[in-house]
Structure 1
């Protein structure tokens, strides 16, 4: 009975081949699954690394870009300030040269004695009205004393006519204007304690302060950066 169910060598070989083929097939499928899974994990890890590197590169680039922008802004600001300072310096040099030229010509006003006498009279009247005292002294240049006396007479007369007040003025010969004075005078009151300086040099100094804005406007035009005006 047992012999009838015994497998021949050929049958055993065939069965072994089937089993081997099945095991091999299973192994191949399992290997394929592992390979696919490995490829997926590799792709995921690769994508993660790419994103990380891309993010790192973007961050580095953004930092460098911001740094470059800041450096560029600083450079522009520095250049703008240097240019502005050069422009301001050139403008100031021009203004200084204008007033220096005017200072050199101050003495020209004394050449015409008639006109100079009128100038001295008006400068004197300005001091008379400001001090409002009955007795004053006038300090002028020694070479102007003759013209100065005539100017005093004219100023006192006009002052009396305008104010209906008496006034007398004399030349303070003990304190003449220093050598080099271009012209003009000073009016002294308050028993010698009050001095109104109306020399040409002082009037030019005052003119620098009062007329400088209009001179700038005439020469350079309106300042677009200025928001407030007097």
Structure 2
């Protein structure tokens, strides 16, 4: 206390000035430290928010991209399926027209060429005789074909005997004719009617539609296209 009282006013003022400057400096440094700390925390928080937003945007973009990609695939698949169905439908229509035209021409050819039809009936009778290999067989035909069929039966019996040395008897079942709307051909039955061989033109054409269809498609549409639009 004696020293303080001993200091002059100028000395006291100087000391106060130094203390004020020191306090000021401490305050500035503290403020700077706080500011730097705040900037650092702000930068960390900003970076965190940026990463979160970036991740959210990326996730949203990826989700939308997947949705768009899936939608595109569905659209492409739908268009492809529709195109495929149209092609298959057009091909089936062509095949149906082809077989229908064949049926029409088949019926006309029977009426126009009785001689060739008689040869066909003979061969159909022989086929049934060889397959059933029985002494007595019954033959069904359209009433309109009875004349041609009777001649075919006689010729078939002769050929059968020449080829096998066996007697084979074919009897035309006039009481049970084939429908007049059919295209021709015959049906042969044996073993008292329990076994029947359908050699009508309708049945032969039906078998052709089934068995020869892959070959017909390959001829009409090409092998590569047939595999590409296989149904």
Q: Which TM-score applies when normalising by structure 1?
A: 0.91
1:205 is aligned to 206
Distance 1:124 1:176 in 2: 16
| SS across alignment from 2:6 | coil
Query: Which piece of structure 1 moves more, 85-94 or 118-127?
Result: 85-94
| SS across alignment from 1:27 | helix
The CA RMSD measured in Å over matched residues stands at 2.0
Distance 2:4 2:102 in 1: 145
Distance 2:180 2:18 in 1: 136
Distance 2:4 2:28 in 1: 37
1:224 maps to 2:231: no
| SS across alignment from 1:138 | strand
1:185 is aligned to 186
Q: Offset at 1:214?
A: 0.4
Distance 1:17 1:5 in 2: 18
2:119 is aligned to 118
1:54 is aligned to 54
Distance 1:185 1:5 in 2: 151
Residue deviations 1:76-95, cap 9 Å, x none? 22222222222211111111
Unmatched runs of 5 consecutive residues or more in structure 2: none
2:82 is aligned to 82
Q: Offset at 1:193?
A: 2.5
Richer in helix (by share): 2
Q: Offset at 1:188?
A: 2.1
Number of aligned residue pairs: give it.
Answer: 226
Distance 1:3 1:141 in 2: 153
Query: CA contact under 8 A between 2:88 and 2:229: conserved in structure 1?
Result: no
Residue deviations 1:156-197, cap 9 Å, x none? 111111111111112111111212122111112112222212
Distance 1:43 1:118 in 2: 103
Unmatched runs of 5 consecutive residues or more in structure 1: none
